[in-house]
Structure 1
Amino acid sequence: MTTPTIKAPVLEMMELLEELAAFSAPGAGVSRLLYTPEWLRAHQFLQERMAALGMEVRRDEVGNVYGRFTGSQTADKVILTGSHIDTVLNGGKYDGAYGIAAAVTALHYLQQTFGQPLRTVEAVAFCEEEGSRFPITFWGSGNVTGMYNGSEADSCSDSRRVTISSAMEACGLERKPGKGPRREDIGAYVELHIEQGIVLEQSALEIGIVEAIAGQRRFHVKVGGTANHAGTTPMGLRRDALAGAAEMLLAMEQAAVQTGDPLVATCGKLEASPGTPNVIPGEVQFTLDIRHSEAEQLERYCSGIQAHFERIADSRGLTLELTATLATTPAPMDEGLKRLLEQISQQQGRSFRTMVSGAGHDAQLFAPLCPTAMIFVPSRAGISHSPDEYSSPEELAAGLNVLTAILYELAYKES
């Protein structure tokens, strides 16, 4: 494999990142929730920027924005690259937006340097991925890949009881009869993203080549006991829901450590009732978030933990309700594209490693449908979803040039 020397304009990408960060609700960091005024302004700005760079621009029914350079081989499927433009509340300016700014910059550079591609290339800004305003994630890519059919817009509402449909209408978006935003013309999808973890920084590596996006299981757990007086109830006669929950969570952690990487298991929320210092907790509710890149290992761990929880509850005379609230399957990335990214990294003299993504990304929805790849660059201290989110210009530039090179291979070379 021989790819021409790639020197994509880093300054152009950095300026676009800064300009996108300005579209934010007041407050710390960047807040750009789906279908809000700041979200709409960012999308309008992005469409104008894409058009000024000579791209064919369109916005689909849910608000995904595409900038295209049409290839000479029009019968071939589209090479798609990008990420999501929405943020969490008080997030950073790199998550999602970096992948968009890099995609636009890379395609503009390739068109200016090498002319018309063989295969059509598109930069996409997915309207939503985070689930920060509405209790639904991947609304943008989910409509493109067929995960959603649009009916969810009428039943899903935010904390102010505004439905997705109403919010879309306020942004000038209208659902139409027919297939909607779903696409079947995508030949490959490549996403560039900050790692949102500490692995690359700790390893002093420039590039992470994602081998799989972890599958995820979430549970809501309710442990029932007997609320009673803290001073008059002997220890041997208690049915303490909190003590039982604590034993369960310790067992969960120990089992996760024993299973080893890349499995992770987290309790992110715990509430004890009645929550009074001198009353034994009669009920505890907590959440579980469990992730692994291999479906069999993920299922085995979850089944084992549930059985362990039941044994603990029985031994303490407690009741147990465990309800599944989310189940996503692991998404392996394309082997051929992973090898290509390794070759590009070696050719550019960049240090790299393959790795599992514990966080979810739009790429996981494309993986079952077309060859899909993800590229990571380091995140300072692993911080993300925060105003303190940061990757250096040099780190961002490395990712941009690797992305540009793989897009050249996919769009400009005969297959």
Structure 2
Amino acid sequence: MTVHLLGPIQLEEEVERLIEWLATFGKTEKGGVTRLLYSEQWLSAQEALKEKMEECGLAPYFDDVGNLFGRAEGSSPSSKTILTGSHIDTVIEGGKYDGAYGIIAGLLATHYLLKRFGTPKKTIEVVSLCEEEGSRFPLTFWGSGSVTGRRSFKHIQKIVDSKGILFVQAMNECGFGQERFRQPFRNDIQCFIELHIEQGSVLEKKKKSLGIVSDIVGQRRYQVKVVGESNHAGTTPMSCRKDAVAIASELITYLMKQAKQVCDQLRVTVGKIKVEPNVPNVIAGEVVFTIDIRHHEEELLEQFCSTFSRHFKNVSAQYNVDILLNEWLNVKPVKMDQQLLRLSKEIAEEQNLSHEILVSGAGHDSQMFGTYCPTALFFVPSHNGISHSPKEYTAAAYLESGVKFLIHYLYRLAY
């Protein structure tokens, strides 16, 4: 059954207004948004959203890590909860749409359904997840990870931010982590639905209004240390050198060539390099660089990583230098739920909404929920693919069409 929207509902102005309103919490001089976990700006935003949820007819409540929920109680007491939303935190000097749009869209969609159709059969909750980005503390997905049981208080006991403030201290100062609120782990969620900006340019280039995500990529991250030998730049013959920069360059070139040969959907990035002693007239004795590798098939990820690891060992022996490889992140790919995927395509076709099946190259809260409960992730276009920047922008027409799609989707699930 298709939901018939009551008249030509105009959401463009409302969704833009609420996006701009939420962006005032943490707005920077450069026009960006900095709203870090457990900061004053973060807490003010969550408290303001709590009031907004009440205005929209929802019953709001916090859990003990600071996730905020707005509940529309269903008429079937035994039904599990349909959860929709995204994260409230941002990167430093981030954009106003990342995370925020999914929360605003959930609020507007649920508010419309309550006004138009009354009490749902199944409970709907809109969530403003407390953290996803890892921008303040070296831990990501604290909000969704706590709900799904992938994160717990034992993971944060010794974590500090760049100013030396303990994670636990910052949480306590905001009133959380003291058992004043319900415990975050949930076992009553039927599915999780996340609407997000694409943070890429595929939809815009293909002139599509909606991205339906089939998979979220797995990620491997490494730190590589090449230990050569520092020496004089003018007196050391080329044949006698153990130049860490030259060797690191050879390794990086190998990575890029191999990645292009494997497949276009494999993404390999060397984003950070440190050279010692980093002096113009001294041969570098040590280079440390990072590798970020992403793909949606675990088997391909494993094969690529094994291949380049073997090559690095061969290069180490060839030049008689130490090449130390440390894998510090290994996140498995996550598939979105096939039944929800079919429903997504069905609704998009019913609405004559141009759409594209995508693989998400970025991590999202859906990554945590995808191994815990049936999960669906949708994108609306990002202008020029820019995100994590004050220049992040999505046109109001796309924001509106996303909310209308979510209205239909939640109706089919809850009513």
Q: Same fold (TM over 0.5)?
A: yes
1-side partners of 2:107 and 2:160: how far apart? 32
Answer yes or no: is 1:392 the counterpart of 2:395: yes
The residue type equivalent to 2:397 in the other structure is E
In structure 1, C-alpha distance between the alignment counterparts of 2:302 and 2:69, rounded to whole Å: 37
1:156-204 Cα deviation digits (max 9, x unpaired): 1111111121111211223339982100100010000001111111111
**Equivalent runs, 1:102-251 vs 2, <5 Å:** 102-176=105-179, 180-251=183-254
Contact 1:8 1:400 survives alignment (8 Å): no
Percent identical among aligned pairs is: 48
Specify the SS of the correspondent of 1:151.
Answer: helix
Distance 1:409 1:154 in 2: 42
Q: CA RMSD in A?
A: 1.5
Paired residue type of 2:20: E
In the alignment, the residues of structure 2 paired with residue 239 and residue 403 of structure 1 have an alpha-carbon distance, to the nearest angstrom, of 59
Cα pair 1:8 1:109 within 8 Å, conserved: no
Partner of 1:326: 329
Deviations 1:105-159 (A, max 9, x none): 0000011111111100010000000000111101111110101121233211111
Q: Deviations over 1:333-371 (max 9, x none)?
A: 001111111111111111111111010000011111111
What is the rounded CA distance, in whole Å, between the counterparts of 1:11 and 1:302 in structure 2?
A: 48
Matched, 1:303 2:306: yes
Contact 1:134 1:157 in 2 (8 A): yes
1:24 matched to which residue of 2? 26
CA shift digits 1:79-102 (9 cap, x unpaired):
000000000000000000000000
CA contact (8 A) 2:275 2:287 kept: yes
Deviation at 1:5, TM superposition (A): 4.1
1:307-326 Cα shifts (integer Å, max 9, x gaps): 11222222222211000111
Other structure's SS at 1:304 match = helix
Unaligned runs of 5+ in 2: none
2:114 maps to a residue whose letter is: Q
Contact 1:8/1:105, CA 8 A, preserved across alignment? no
Q: Which moved more, 1:151-160 or 1:30-39?
A: 151-160
Q: Which amino acid aligns with 2:17?
A: E
Aligned residue number for residue 336 of structure 1: 339
C-alpha separation in 1, matches of 2:299 and 2:182: 34
Preserved CA contact (<8 Å) 2:42 2:89: yes
- More deviation, 279-288/228-237: 228-237
Distance in 1, Cα, partners of 2:155 & 2:10: 40
Amino acid at match of 1:379: S
TM-score normalized by structure 1?
0.96
Distance in 2 between residues matched to 1:169 and 1:50, nearest whole Å: 24
Match of 1:12 in 2: 14
**C-alpha contact (below 8 Å) 2:380/2:402 kept by paired residues:** yes
| C-alpha distance in structure 1 between counterparts of 2:327 and 2:58, whole Å | 44
CA distance in structure 2 between the aligned counterparts of 1:405 and 1:261, rounded to whole angstroms: 34
Q: Do 1:247 and 1:312's aligned partners in 2 also have CA atoms closer than 8 Å?
A: no
Structure 2 residue aligned with 1:263: 266
* 1:405 partner SS: helix
- The structural deviation recorded for 1:330 is 0.4
Unaligned runs of 5+ in 1: none
Tell me, in whole angstroms, the C-alpha distance in 2 between the residues paired with 1:136 and 1:206.
33
Contact 1:221/1:320, CA 8 A, preserved across alignment: yes
* In structure 2, C-alpha distance between the alignment counterparts of 1:10 and 1:395, rounded to whole Å: 9
